Homo-oligomer: A and B are copies of this chain.
Amino acid sequence: MFHTIIVAGNIGRDPEMRYTPSGVAVTSFSVASSRQYSNAQGQAVKETIWFRVSCWSKLAEYANTYLKKGNKVLIEGRLVPDTTTGGPRIWNRSDGTTSASYEINAVTIRSLATRSESEGTANNSSGFPEYSEPSIEEDDIPF
């Protein structure tokens, strides 16, 4: 079956890239997506969700190169569950408390930065790649 999650938000800290033992690049970063709304009592409420985003291979290398703390990004991907519970993974922190996070395996990443904001970081004029399926020439299409 299908699920997908699409998030627009701001990167919380500079991305970090590592390599798997087999040499595949993996980049991780957090994205905060906030909204304000008014509750039933008419009070303004600010809600922030944090997502932990991972991406792989070529997408990892570009994210590591071009995305920086504070950048506005759009992410599409899949939630990564705990394989035994089917829910979010639970972590034991060093202080004895437990926490959980929304982990996303990204399939698509787009920078929403504009030229003025990005100064050499990710935006469309700086060569940040827009992830897309391999293209095929129109002349190559048989219909």
Contacts and interface: CB of A to CB of B under 8 A. Distances in A.
Contact of A86 (B4, B49, B74, B143): B49
Nearest to A18: B142
Q: Which of A8, A20, A41, A49 has the most CB of B within 10 A?
A: A49
Q: List the 3 shortest-distance A-B pairs measured between CB atoms, nearest first.
A: A100-B100, A20-B140, A18-B142
Nearest to A117: B114
Interface residues of A, number: 74
Contacts of A9: 1, 3
Contacts of A76: 2, 4
A49 B99 contact: no
Interface of A: 1-10, 18-22, 24, 26, 28, 32-41, 45, 47-50, 56, 72, 74, 76, 78-79, 81, 83, 85-90, 98-102, 105, 107-108, 110, 112, 114, 116-117, 124, 130, 132-143
A26 B34 CA distance: 25
A135 B88 CA distance: 19
A37 B135 contact: yes
